[in-house]
Chains A and B, each alone.
Chain A
Amino acid sequence: MKRKPSVCVEIEPDLVAAATGDAEPGAVHRVEAHIDSCGACRDEFHRYREIEGVVGTLRRTPSEAESLTRARQGLESRLADLRSRLVSYRVFPSPLGRILIARSEHGVSLVEYLDGDLRTSRLSRIGGVELQEDGAEIETLHRELMEYLRGDRTRLEWPLDLRLARSDFHRSVLRATAAIPYGAVTSYAGLAAEIGRPTAIRAVAQALRWNPLPIVVPCHRIIGTSGALTGYSGDKIGLKRELLAVEGVQAIGTRSDSRVARNTLYHYERNDQHEYCLPTCGDIARRPIGAVTLLASRELAGAMGLVPCTACRPDLHPLAA
Protein backbone atom coordinates (compact mmCIF):
# COMPACT_ATOMS: atom_id res chain seq x y z
CA MET A 1 0.00 0.00 0.00
CA LYS A 2 1.26 3.40 -0.95
CA ARG A 3 2.18 5.61 1.93
CA LYS A 4 0.41 8.97 2.09
CA PRO A 5 2.59 12.05 1.60
CA SER A 6 3.24 13.75 4.96
CA VAL A 7 1.49 16.92 3.84
CA CYS A 8 -1.69 14.89 3.31
CA VAL A 9 -1.34 13.18 6.70
CA GLU A 10 -0.92 16.53 8.38
CA ILE A 11 -3.89 18.15 6.75
CA GLU A 12 -6.20 15.18 7.32
CA PRO A 13 -7.85 16.45 10.55
CA ASP A 14 -8.55 19.80 8.91
CA LEU A 15 -9.79 18.09 5.77
CA VAL A 16 -12.21 15.92 7.72
CA ALA A 17 -13.33 18.95 9.72
CA ALA A 18 -13.87 21.05 6.60
CA ALA A 19 -15.77 18.28 4.83
CA THR A 20 -18.01 17.72 7.83
CA GLY A 21 -18.76 21.36 8.49
CA ASP A 22 -16.57 21.68 11.51
CA ALA A 23 -13.43 23.61 10.58
CA GLU A 24 -12.03 26.97 11.59
CA PRO A 25 -11.99 29.47 8.68
CA GLY A 26 -8.20 29.30 8.37
CA ALA A 27 -8.29 25.54 8.06
CA VAL A 28 -10.91 25.75 5.31
CA HIS A 29 -8.57 27.88 3.19
CA ARG A 30 -5.65 25.51 3.73
CA VAL A 31 -7.82 22.56 2.78
CA GLU A 32 -9.16 24.31 -0.32
CA ALA A 33 -5.64 25.10 -1.46
CA HIS A 34 -4.49 21.54 -0.86
CA ILE A 35 -7.31 19.70 -2.61
CA ASP A 36 -6.86 21.98 -5.62
CA SER A 37 -3.57 20.25 -6.19
CA CYS A 38 -4.04 16.80 -4.62
CA GLY A 39 -6.49 14.48 -6.35
CA ALA A 40 -6.40 11.78 -3.66
CA CYS A 41 -7.33 14.24 -0.95
CA ARG A 42 -10.00 15.80 -3.16
CA ASP A 43 -11.65 12.35 -3.42
CA GLU A 44 -11.18 11.87 0.29
CA PHE A 45 -12.80 15.23 0.93
CA HIS A 46 -15.75 14.32 -1.19
CA ARG A 47 -16.09 10.98 0.51
CA TYR A 48 -16.28 12.71 3.89
CA ARG A 49 -18.90 15.04 2.48
CA GLU A 50 -21.01 12.01 1.63
CA ILE A 51 -20.42 10.53 5.07
CA GLU A 52 -21.52 13.78 6.67
CA GLY A 53 -24.76 13.40 4.72
CA VAL A 54 -25.38 9.90 6.09
CA VAL A 55 -24.40 11.01 9.59
CA GLY A 56 -26.98 13.78 9.23
CA THR A 57 -29.72 11.17 8.89
CA LEU A 58 -28.96 10.08 12.46
CA ARG A 59 -30.25 13.45 13.62
CA ARG A 60 -33.62 12.80 12.14
CA THR A 61 -34.13 9.41 13.68
CA PRO A 62 -36.94 10.02 16.14
CA SER A 63 -36.78 8.62 19.66
CA GLU A 64 -39.14 5.78 20.31
CA ALA A 65 -42.11 7.80 21.55
CA GLU A 66 -43.34 5.13 23.92
CA SER A 67 -40.01 4.80 25.62
CA LEU A 68 -39.62 8.57 25.88
CA THR A 69 -43.05 8.90 27.47
CA ARG A 70 -42.24 6.12 29.90
CA ALA A 71 -38.95 7.83 30.78
CA ARG A 72 -40.68 11.15 31.39
CA GLN A 73 -43.46 9.70 33.52
CA GLY A 74 -40.97 7.71 35.54
CA LEU A 75 -38.94 10.87 36.01
CA GLU A 76 -41.94 12.83 37.31
CA SER A 77 -42.69 10.26 39.96
CA ARG A 78 -39.06 9.81 40.99
CA LEU A 79 -38.66 13.59 41.21
CA ALA A 80 -41.73 13.92 43.40
CA ASP A 81 -40.33 11.24 45.67
CA LEU A 82 -36.90 12.88 45.81
CA ARG A 83 -38.41 16.26 46.57
CA SER A 84 -40.27 14.94 49.57
CA ARG A 85 -37.16 13.18 50.87
CA LEU A 86 -34.44 15.68 50.19
CA VAL A 87 -33.17 17.61 53.18
CA SER A 88 -30.33 20.00 52.68
CA TYR A 89 -28.32 21.23 55.61
CA ARG A 90 -25.30 23.16 56.63
CA VAL A 91 -23.33 23.58 59.83
CA PHE A 92 -21.68 26.87 60.69
CA PRO A 93 -20.17 28.70 63.62
CA SER A 94 -22.20 31.26 65.57
CA PRO A 95 -21.81 33.22 68.79
CA LEU A 96 -23.82 30.42 70.39
CA GLY A 97 -21.58 27.64 69.11
CA ARG A 98 -21.94 25.49 66.03
CA ILE A 99 -25.43 25.50 64.60
CA LEU A 100 -26.94 23.19 62.04
CA ILE A 101 -29.76 24.42 59.81
CA ALA A 102 -31.66 21.96 57.65
CA ARG A 103 -34.45 22.55 55.21
CA SER A 104 -36.75 20.60 52.95
CA GLU A 105 -38.71 21.89 50.01
CA HIS A 106 -41.48 22.88 52.44
CA GLY A 107 -39.32 24.95 54.72
CA VAL A 108 -36.82 24.89 57.54
CA SER A 109 -37.17 21.61 59.37
CA LEU A 110 -34.34 21.60 61.88
CA VAL A 111 -32.18 24.06 63.77
CA GLU A 112 -29.79 22.37 66.12
CA TYR A 113 -26.96 23.31 68.45
CA LEU A 114 -24.36 20.81 67.42
CA ASP A 115 -21.98 19.62 70.12
CA GLY A 116 -20.23 16.91 68.17
CA ASP A 117 -20.04 16.06 64.49
CA LEU A 118 -22.91 15.36 62.19
CA ARG A 119 -23.36 11.85 63.53
CA THR A 120 -24.56 13.31 66.82
CA SER A 121 -27.21 15.35 65.02
CA ARG A 122 -30.87 14.52 65.09
CA LEU A 123 -30.63 14.57 61.31
CA SER A 124 -28.74 11.31 61.26
CA ARG A 125 -31.51 9.64 63.24
CA ILE A 126 -34.32 10.61 60.90
CA GLY A 127 -35.35 7.80 58.61
CA GLY A 128 -36.40 8.08 54.99
CA VAL A 129 -34.63 11.31 54.15
CA GLU A 130 -31.78 12.00 51.80
CA LEU A 131 -29.30 14.43 53.29
CA GLN A 132 -27.46 16.90 51.18
CA GLU A 133 -24.93 19.43 52.33
CA ASP A 134 -26.02 22.56 50.58
CA GLY A 135 -25.02 26.12 50.00
CA ALA A 136 -26.92 29.01 48.61
CA GLU A 137 -30.36 28.76 50.14
CA ILE A 138 -29.12 27.93 53.58
CA GLU A 139 -26.54 30.67 53.27
CA THR A 140 -29.40 33.16 53.29
CA LEU A 141 -30.90 31.56 56.38
CA HIS A 142 -27.50 31.60 58.03
CA ARG A 143 -27.04 35.30 57.30
CA GLU A 144 -30.46 36.14 58.72
CA LEU A 145 -29.79 34.10 61.81
CA MET A 146 -26.52 35.93 62.40
CA GLU A 147 -28.33 39.26 62.03
CA TYR A 148 -30.87 38.05 64.52
CA LEU A 149 -28.24 37.00 67.06
CA ARG A 150 -26.56 40.40 66.73
CA GLY A 151 -29.86 42.11 67.46
CA ASP A 152 -30.08 43.58 63.94
CA ARG A 153 -33.19 41.61 63.08
CA THR A 154 -36.23 40.87 65.20
CA ARG A 155 -38.04 38.37 63.02
CA LEU A 156 -37.05 35.21 61.21
CA GLU A 157 -39.83 34.87 58.68
CA TRP A 158 -38.89 31.46 57.47
CA PRO A 159 -41.24 28.90 55.97
CA LEU A 160 -41.28 26.07 58.48
CA ASP A 161 -41.58 22.35 57.91
CA LEU A 162 -42.99 20.90 61.12
CA ARG A 163 -42.85 17.29 59.98
CA LEU A 164 -40.22 16.54 62.60
CA ALA A 165 -42.74 17.38 65.31
CA ARG A 166 -43.98 14.25 67.00
CA SER A 167 -47.73 14.82 67.07
CA ASP A 168 -50.46 17.30 66.36
CA PHE A 169 -50.25 18.39 69.98
CA HIS A 170 -46.53 18.97 69.51
CA ARG A 171 -47.22 21.05 66.40
CA SER A 172 -49.87 23.13 68.17
CA VAL A 173 -47.40 23.92 70.98
CA LEU A 174 -44.77 24.93 68.42
CA ARG A 175 -47.22 27.15 66.54
CA ALA A 176 -48.37 28.89 69.70
CA THR A 177 -44.74 29.41 70.70
CA ALA A 178 -43.92 30.85 67.29
CA ALA A 179 -46.64 33.46 67.89
CA ILE A 180 -44.95 34.89 71.00
CA PRO A 181 -43.44 38.18 69.87
CA TYR A 182 -39.85 39.31 70.13
CA GLY A 183 -39.12 40.70 73.58
CA ALA A 184 -42.06 38.97 75.28
CA VAL A 185 -41.82 36.18 77.81
CA THR A 186 -44.48 33.85 79.09
CA SER A 187 -44.60 30.60 81.03
CA TYR A 188 -45.26 26.96 80.22
CA ALA A 189 -48.51 27.34 82.17
CA GLY A 190 -49.42 30.44 80.17
CA LEU A 191 -48.76 28.60 76.92
CA ALA A 192 -50.78 25.58 78.04
CA ALA A 193 -53.71 27.91 78.73
CA GLU A 194 -53.16 29.58 75.38
CA ILE A 195 -53.64 26.34 73.44
CA GLY A 196 -56.68 25.40 75.50
CA ARG A 197 -54.96 22.69 77.55
CA PRO A 198 -54.38 24.50 80.88
CA THR A 199 -53.48 21.32 82.74
CA ALA A 200 -51.00 20.03 80.17
CA ILE A 201 -48.13 22.10 81.56
CA ARG A 202 -45.65 19.23 81.71
CA ALA A 203 -46.62 18.03 78.26
CA VAL A 204 -46.03 21.54 76.93
CA ALA A 205 -42.62 21.66 78.58
CA GLN A 206 -41.80 18.26 77.17
CA ALA A 207 -42.93 19.34 73.69
CA LEU A 208 -40.60 22.32 73.81
CA ARG A 209 -37.76 20.14 75.03
CA TRP A 210 -38.08 18.49 71.62
CA ASN A 211 -38.45 21.72 69.71
CA PRO A 212 -36.81 20.93 66.36
CA LEU A 213 -36.53 24.65 65.57
CA PRO A 214 -35.00 26.52 68.50
CA ILE A 215 -34.53 30.29 68.02
CA VAL A 216 -36.97 30.28 65.05
CA VAL A 217 -39.71 28.80 67.21
CA PRO A 218 -38.67 30.88 70.24
CA CYS A 219 -39.00 28.41 73.08
CA HIS A 220 -36.44 30.52 74.93
CA ARG A 221 -39.33 32.96 75.57
CA ILE A 222 -41.06 30.36 77.72
CA ILE A 223 -39.99 30.14 81.37
CA GLY A 224 -41.23 28.74 84.66
CA THR A 225 -44.08 30.46 86.54
CA SER A 226 -41.54 31.51 89.18
CA GLY A 227 -39.52 33.38 86.59
CA ALA A 228 -36.79 30.74 86.57
CA LEU A 229 -35.35 30.02 83.16
CA THR A 230 -35.69 26.26 83.87
CA GLY A 231 -34.24 24.31 80.96
CA TYR A 232 -33.04 24.88 77.42
CA SER A 233 -31.78 22.40 74.85
CA GLY A 234 -30.51 20.02 77.49
CA ASP A 235 -28.39 22.04 79.91
CA LYS A 236 -27.85 25.15 77.82
CA ILE A 237 -29.46 27.68 80.17
CA GLY A 238 -26.64 30.07 79.28
CA LEU A 239 -27.84 30.16 75.67
CA LYS A 240 -31.39 30.86 76.79
CA ARG A 241 -30.07 33.76 78.84
CA GLU A 242 -28.11 35.12 75.87
CA LEU A 243 -31.04 34.84 73.51
CA LEU A 244 -33.29 36.69 75.94
CA ALA A 245 -30.66 39.36 76.52
CA VAL A 246 -30.57 40.06 72.75
CA GLU A 247 -34.30 40.85 73.00
CA GLY A 248 -33.84 43.10 76.02
CA VAL A 249 -34.94 40.59 78.63
CA GLN A 250 -32.29 40.41 81.37
CA ALA A 251 -31.81 37.51 83.72
CA ILE A 252 -30.14 37.45 87.10
CA GLY A 253 -28.75 34.76 89.37
CA THR A 254 -26.34 31.95 88.96
CA ARG A 255 -26.05 29.58 86.09
CA SER A 256 -28.01 26.91 87.93
CA ASP A 257 -30.59 29.33 89.25
CA SER A 258 -31.26 31.97 86.62
CA ARG A 259 -34.43 33.97 86.65
CA VAL A 260 -35.63 36.90 84.61
CA ALA A 261 -35.26 40.31 86.24
CA ARG A 262 -38.96 41.10 86.53
CA ASN A 263 -38.33 44.57 87.93
CA THR A 264 -36.88 45.55 84.52
CA LEU A 265 -39.88 44.35 82.51
CA TYR A 266 -43.40 45.58 81.85
CA HIS A 267 -46.13 43.22 82.98
CA TYR A 268 -49.32 42.31 81.27
CA GLU A 269 -51.81 40.24 83.21
CA ARG A 270 -54.69 39.21 81.02
CA ASN A 271 -57.56 41.69 81.51
CA ASP A 272 -60.49 42.97 79.52
CA GLN A 273 -59.05 46.48 79.27
CA HIS A 274 -55.78 45.15 77.77
CA GLU A 275 -53.81 47.26 80.17
CA TYR A 276 -50.16 46.66 80.85
CA CYS A 277 -48.36 47.78 83.95
CA LEU A 278 -45.09 48.74 85.54
CA PRO A 279 -43.63 45.95 87.71
CA THR A 280 -44.30 48.20 90.67
CA CYS A 281 -48.06 48.23 90.10
CA GLY A 282 -49.55 46.58 93.19
CA ASP A 283 -48.16 43.11 93.76
CA ILE A 284 -48.08 42.20 90.07
CA ALA A 285 -44.32 41.49 90.10
CA ARG A 286 -44.83 38.85 92.77
CA ARG A 287 -47.58 36.97 91.02
CA PRO A 288 -46.72 33.75 89.22
CA ILE A 289 -46.06 34.08 85.50
CA GLY A 290 -49.18 32.22 84.55
CA ALA A 291 -51.61 34.66 83.08
CA VAL A 292 -48.78 37.21 83.11
CA THR A 293 -46.70 38.06 80.10
CA LEU A 294 -43.45 40.01 80.53
CA LEU A 295 -42.54 42.64 77.97
CA ALA A 296 -39.17 44.18 77.21
CA SER A 297 -40.50 47.52 75.91
CA ARG A 298 -43.49 49.80 75.64
CA GLU A 299 -43.23 49.66 71.87
CA LEU A 300 -43.81 45.93 72.06
CA ALA A 301 -46.82 46.49 74.32
CA GLY A 302 -48.20 48.95 71.78
CA ALA A 303 -47.57 46.51 68.94
CA MET A 304 -49.51 43.86 70.87
CA GLY A 305 -52.50 46.23 71.12
CA LEU A 306 -52.05 46.91 74.83
CA VAL A 307 -52.71 50.24 76.53
CA PRO A 308 -50.97 51.78 79.57
CA CYS A 309 -52.53 51.00 82.95
CA THR A 310 -54.43 54.04 84.23
CA ALA A 311 -53.19 53.43 87.77
CA CYS A 312 -49.41 53.00 87.35
CA ARG A 313 -49.13 54.95 84.05
CA PRO A 314 -46.18 53.22 82.35
CA ASP A 315 -46.54 55.83 79.65
CA LEU A 316 -45.58 58.58 82.09
CA HIS A 317 -43.06 56.61 84.12
CA PRO A 318 -41.16 54.40 81.74
CA LEU A 319 -38.68 51.89 83.08
CA ALA A 320 -35.11 53.05 82.83
CA ALA A 321 -33.72 51.59 79.64
Chain B
Amino acid sequence: MMGAQPFETIVGAHHAEIFRYLRRVTSRPAEAEDLSQETFLRAYRAYRTLGPDANVRAWLFAIATNLSRNHFRSEKRRRVAHQAIAVESREADPEGPEHEARFGEARGLLETTVAALPLKQRLAFVMRKIHDLDYDAIGRSLDCSGESARAHVFQALRKIRLSLNGHELPPAGGVERRASPAVATDRRGTDVPPSESPLSMERPR
Protein backbone atom coordinates (compact mmCIF):
# COMPACT_ATOMS: atom_id res chain seq x y z
CA MET B 1 0.00 0.00 0.00
CA MET B 2 0.98 3.58 -0.49
CA GLY B 3 2.44 5.50 2.39
CA ALA B 4 -0.32 7.05 4.46
CA GLN B 5 0.43 10.61 3.35
CA PRO B 6 1.42 12.00 -0.03
CA PHE B 7 5.13 12.58 -0.36
CA GLU B 8 4.70 16.35 -0.75
CA THR B 9 3.32 16.42 2.77
CA ILE B 10 6.39 14.63 4.06
CA VAL B 11 8.67 17.10 2.30
CA GLY B 12 6.69 20.04 3.61
CA ALA B 13 6.71 18.77 7.17
CA HIS B 14 10.32 17.66 7.48
CA HIS B 15 12.63 19.16 4.90
CA ALA B 16 13.51 22.29 6.85
CA GLU B 17 14.39 20.31 9.95
CA ILE B 18 16.44 17.71 8.09
CA PHE B 19 18.27 20.53 6.36
CA ARG B 20 18.97 22.14 9.72
CA TYR B 21 20.31 18.87 11.07
CA LEU B 22 22.56 18.37 8.08
CA ARG B 23 23.67 21.97 8.16
CA ARG B 24 24.82 21.41 11.75
CA VAL B 25 26.79 18.27 10.96
CA THR B 26 28.33 19.44 7.70
CA SER B 27 30.65 22.31 7.09
CA ARG B 28 29.34 24.12 4.03
CA PRO B 29 25.80 25.11 3.03
CA ALA B 30 26.23 23.38 -0.32
CA GLU B 31 26.87 20.05 1.41
CA ALA B 32 23.73 20.34 3.51
CA GLU B 33 21.73 21.37 0.46
CA ASP B 34 22.86 18.36 -1.49
CA LEU B 35 22.57 15.87 1.36
CA SER B 36 19.11 17.09 2.28
CA GLN B 37 18.01 16.60 -1.31
CA GLU B 38 19.59 13.15 -1.42
CA THR B 39 17.80 12.26 1.80
CA PHE B 40 14.41 13.00 0.31
CA LEU B 41 15.18 11.40 -3.03
CA ARG B 42 16.07 8.21 -1.17
CA ALA B 43 13.00 8.54 0.94
CA TYR B 44 10.87 8.92 -2.17
CA ARG B 45 12.21 5.69 -3.59
CA ALA B 46 11.29 3.81 -0.44
CA TYR B 47 8.34 5.54 1.14
CA ARG B 48 5.69 3.42 -0.56
CA THR B 49 6.89 0.48 1.46
CA LEU B 50 6.62 2.41 4.70
CA GLY B 51 4.01 1.08 7.08
CA PRO B 52 1.13 3.37 8.06
CA ASP B 53 2.44 3.63 11.64
CA ALA B 54 6.04 4.33 10.72
CA ASN B 55 7.76 7.22 12.45
CA VAL B 56 8.53 9.18 9.31
CA ARG B 57 10.60 11.79 11.10
CA ALA B 58 12.93 9.26 12.76
CA TRP B 59 13.17 7.40 9.46
CA LEU B 60 14.25 10.56 7.63
CA PHE B 61 16.85 11.28 10.30
CA ALA B 62 18.19 7.77 9.82
CA ILE B 63 18.53 8.28 6.07
CA ALA B 64 20.18 11.67 6.55
CA THR B 65 22.52 10.20 9.15
CA ASN B 66 23.54 7.38 6.85
CA LEU B 67 24.22 9.76 4.01
CA SER B 68 26.31 11.98 6.28
CA ARG B 69 28.37 9.04 7.41
CA ASN B 70 29.07 8.03 3.82
CA HIS B 71 29.82 11.61 2.99
CA PHE B 72 32.36 11.95 5.77
CA ARG B 73 33.96 8.59 5.21
CA SER B 74 36.64 10.54 3.45
CA GLU B 75 38.93 11.93 6.12
CA LYS B 76 39.94 14.75 3.87
CA ARG B 77 36.43 16.09 3.75
CA ARG B 78 36.31 15.97 7.51
CA ARG B 79 39.41 18.10 7.92
CA VAL B 80 38.01 20.70 5.58
CA ALA B 81 34.80 20.58 7.58
CA HIS B 82 36.54 21.40 10.85
CA GLN B 83 38.39 24.34 9.46
CA ALA B 84 35.28 25.82 7.90
CA ILE B 85 33.27 25.57 11.10
CA ALA B 86 36.05 26.95 13.24
CA VAL B 87 35.97 30.10 11.15
CA GLU B 88 32.22 30.33 10.76
CA SER B 89 31.27 29.84 14.37
CA ARG B 90 32.51 33.25 15.40
CA GLU B 91 30.15 35.01 13.11
CA ALA B 92 26.73 34.85 14.70
CA ASP B 93 25.58 35.03 18.24
CA PRO B 94 21.86 35.53 18.77
CA GLU B 95 22.25 36.98 22.23
CA GLY B 96 23.23 40.55 21.43
CA PRO B 97 26.46 42.49 22.00
CA GLU B 98 26.76 42.13 25.74
CA HIS B 99 26.44 38.39 25.61
CA GLU B 100 28.69 38.26 22.65
CA ALA B 101 31.38 39.87 24.67
CA ARG B 102 30.93 37.69 27.73
CA PHE B 103 29.76 34.40 26.35
CA GLY B 104 30.39 34.61 22.61
CA GLU B 105 33.75 32.98 23.03
CA ALA B 106 32.25 30.03 24.88
CA ARG B 107 29.58 29.71 22.28
CA GLY B 108 32.17 29.73 19.51
CA LEU B 109 34.23 27.19 21.38
CA LEU B 110 31.15 24.99 21.77
CA GLU B 111 30.52 25.04 18.03
CA THR B 112 34.13 24.25 17.27
CA THR B 113 34.09 21.39 19.77
CA VAL B 114 30.88 19.96 18.35
CA ALA B 115 32.32 20.17 14.85
CA ALA B 116 35.46 18.36 15.95
CA LEU B 117 33.65 15.52 17.72
CA PRO B 118 34.08 12.05 16.28
CA LEU B 119 31.33 11.65 13.73
CA LYS B 120 29.09 9.26 15.65
CA GLN B 121 29.25 11.42 18.76
CA ARG B 122 28.53 14.53 16.75
CA LEU B 123 25.55 12.97 14.98
CA ALA B 124 24.17 11.54 18.22
CA PHE B 125 24.72 14.83 20.03
CA VAL B 126 22.94 16.91 17.38
CA MET B 127 20.05 14.47 17.05
CA ARG B 128 19.55 14.44 20.81
CA LYS B 129 20.35 17.95 21.94
CA ILE B 130 19.07 19.93 18.97
CA HIS B 131 16.37 17.72 17.52
CA ASP B 132 15.20 15.82 20.60
CA LEU B 133 15.15 12.40 19.02
CA ASP B 134 14.83 9.57 21.49
CA TYR B 135 17.81 7.31 22.04
CA ASP B 136 16.25 4.31 20.35
CA ALA B 137 15.73 6.30 17.17
CA ILE B 138 19.28 7.67 17.38
CA GLY B 139 20.58 4.14 17.89
CA ARG B 140 18.73 2.92 14.81
CA SER B 141 20.20 5.78 12.79
CA LEU B 142 23.71 4.92 13.89
CA ASP B 143 23.35 1.13 13.75
CA CYS B 144 23.88 0.79 17.46
CA SER B 145 21.78 0.30 20.58
CA GLY B 146 19.93 3.08 22.35
CA GLU B 147 22.40 2.67 25.21
CA SER B 148 25.37 3.20 22.90
CA ALA B 149 23.66 6.25 21.48
CA ARG B 150 23.30 7.58 25.03
CA ALA B 151 26.99 6.87 25.64
CA HIS B 152 27.92 8.84 22.51
CA VAL B 153 26.01 11.86 23.79
CA PHE B 154 27.63 11.50 27.22
CA GLN B 155 31.09 11.41 25.67
CA ALA B 156 30.24 14.45 23.56
CA LEU B 157 29.13 16.40 26.64
CA ARG B 158 32.31 15.45 28.50
CA LYS B 159 34.41 16.79 25.66
CA ILE B 160 32.41 19.97 25.57
CA ARG B 161 32.81 20.29 29.34
CA LEU B 162 36.59 19.96 28.98
CA SER B 163 36.88 22.40 26.10
CA LEU B 164 34.86 25.02 27.99
CA ASN B 165 37.03 24.63 31.09
CA GLY B 166 37.73 28.04 32.61
CA HIS B 167 35.22 29.88 30.44
CA GLU B 168 32.51 31.89 32.07
CA LEU B 169 29.06 30.66 31.06
CA PRO B 170 25.62 32.18 31.55
CA PRO B 171 24.17 30.92 34.84
CA ALA B 172 21.99 27.89 34.40
CA GLY B 173 18.30 28.65 34.00
CA GLY B 174 18.90 32.40 34.02
CA VAL B 175 19.62 33.11 30.40
CA GLU B 176 18.58 29.84 28.86
CA ARG B 177 14.81 29.87 28.65
CA ARG B 178 14.72 26.48 27.05
CA ALA B 179 16.16 24.63 29.99
CA SER B 180 15.16 21.02 29.68
CA PRO B 181 13.58 18.91 32.37
CA ALA B 182 16.01 16.84 34.35
CA VAL B 183 14.01 13.72 33.75
CA ALA B 184 14.13 12.30 30.26
CA THR B 185 10.75 12.56 28.61
CA ASP B 186 9.48 11.96 25.14
CA ARG B 187 10.70 15.14 23.58
CA ARG B 188 9.30 15.04 20.08
CA GLY B 189 9.47 18.23 18.11
CA THR B 190 11.56 21.18 19.05
CA ASP B 191 8.82 23.39 20.35
CA VAL B 192 8.22 21.74 23.67
CA PRO B 193 7.57 24.38 26.30
CA PRO B 194 10.27 24.53 28.94
CA SER B 195 9.14 22.50 31.87
CA GLU B 196 10.13 23.01 35.44
CA SER B 197 11.66 20.38 37.60
CA PRO B 198 13.55 20.51 40.84
CA LEU B 199 16.88 20.18 39.08
CA SER B 200 16.29 22.54 36.21
CA MET B 201 16.04 26.00 37.74
CA GLU B 202 17.72 25.99 41.08
CA ARG B 203 21.22 25.52 42.16
CA PRO B 204 21.59 22.58 44.44
CA ARG B 205 22.30 23.57 47.99
- A positions within 8 Å CB-CB of B: 13, 16-25, 28, 32, 35-36, 42, 45-61, 63-64, 67-68, 70-72, 74-75, 78-79, 82-83, 86, 132, 134-137, 140
Expressed in whole angstroms, the Cα–Cα distance for A37 and B165 within the complex equals: 24
Whether B41 lies near A17 (C-beta < 8 A) is no
- Can you list 23 contacts pairing A with B, beta carbon distance less than 8 Å? A13-B150, A16-B154, A17-B184, A28-B183, A28-B199, A32-B199, A45-B204, A49-B199, A50-B170, A51-B157, A51-B160, A52-B172, A52-B179, A54-B107, A59-B190, A61-B92, A67-B32, A67-B33, A71-B19, A72-B16, A86-B44, A135-B49, A136-B1
What residue in chain B is nearest A68 (Cβ atoms)? B19
Instruction: Say if the beta carbon of B171 comes within 8 Å of chain A.
Output: yes
Whether A49 lies near B173 (C-beta < 8 A) is yes
Whether B11 lies near A75 (C-beta < 8 A) is yes
Whether B154 lies near A74 (C-beta < 8 A) is no
Instruction: Say if the beta carbon of B129 comes within 8 Å of chain A.
Output: yes
What residue in chain B is nearest A63 (Cβ atoms)? B20
Known: A19-B199, A46-B204. A55 touches B110 (CB 8 A): yes
Interface 0/1 of B176-187, CB less than 8 Å to A? 101111111000
Whether B184 lies near A21 (C-beta < 8 A) is yes
Expressed in whole angstroms, the Cα–Cα distance for A35 and B182 within the complex equals: 15
Expressed in whole angstroms, the Cα–Cα distance for A59 and B33 within the complex equals: 19
Instruction: Say if the beta carbon of B118 comes within 8 Å of chain A.
Output: no
Whether A28 lies near B182 (C-beta < 8 A) is yes
Q: Which residues of A contact B16 (CB under 8 A)?
A: 63, 68, 72
Instruction: Say if the beta carbon of B72 comes within 8 Å of chain A.
Output: no
* Inter-chain contact total with CB atoms closer than 8 Å: 171
Expressed in whole angstroms, the Cα–Cα distance for A232 and B107 within the complex equals: 74
Where chain B touches its partner, the secondary structure class is helix
Q: Which residues of A contact B107 (CB under 8 A)?
A: 54, 57
Give the size of the chain B interface in residues (CB under 8 angstroms): 64
Expressed in whole angstroms, the Cα–Cα distance for A140 and B1 within the complex equals: 8
What residue in chain A is nearest B171 (Cβ atoms)? A50
Q: Which residues of A contact B160 (CB under 8 A)?
A: 51, 55
Shortest CB-to-CB span from B26 to chain A, Å, is 11
Shortest CB-to-CB span from B204 to chain A, Å, is 5
Expressed in whole angstroms, the Cα–Cα distance for A74 and B41 within the complex equals: 11
Whether A74 lies near B33 (C-beta < 8 A) is yes
Expressed in whole angstroms, the Cα–Cα distance for A52 and B174 within the complex equals: 12
What residue in chain B is nearest A135 (Cβ atoms)? B49
Instruction: Say if the beta carbon of B188 comes within 8 Å of chain A.
Output: no
Shortest CB-to-CB span from A41 to chain B, Å, is 10
Interface 0/1 of B152-175, CB less than 8 Å to A? 011001101100100001111111
Shortest CB-to-CB span from B191 to chain A, Å, is 10
